[in-house]
Amino acid sequence: MSRSSLLSLRLEPKLKKQLDRLSRATSRSRSFIAAEAIREYVALNEWQIEEIKKGVAEADRGEFAAEKDVKQVLSKWKRRGS
C-alpha cells in the first residue's frame, strides 16, 4: 500500500455541506472524495500545461500555420455553418 500524507484545508460552509451530502450518498469518506477530486484536478492541469509547453515549443520551431492558412480554414467552416 502506498503511503499517504495528511493535508489540512479550509472549506466554505456550502462546499462542506455538499461534500458531506456526497459522502453520505456514496458511502465514501470525505477524505476519499476530496483526494479523488484533487487527483483529477491535478491530472487535468498537468495535461494542459504539458500541451501548452508542446505548443510553445512548436511555435518556437516555426511549426505553426500562416495567417492566410488559418483564415482560409475559418472561412471554409463559416460557409458550412451558414
Whether 82 shows a pLDDT value over 90: the answer reads: no
Q: What is the pLDDT of residues 19-63, one digit of tens each?
A: 999 999 999 999 999 999 999 999 999 999 999 999 999 999 998
Predicted local distance difference test score (pLDDT) of residue 64: 84
Predicted local distance difference test score (pLDDT) of residue 79: 78
Taking the alpha carbons of 24, 28, 30, 35 in that order, is the dihedral positive or negative?
negative
Whether 70 shows a pLDDT value over 70: the answer reads: yes
Predicted local distance difference test score (pLDDT) of residue 1: 59
C-alpha to C-alpha distance for 19 and 52, rounded to whole angstroms: 32
* Backbone region of residue 27 per phi and psi (left: phi > 0; alpha: psi in -120 to 50; beta: other values): left
The predicted model scores a pTM of: 0.65
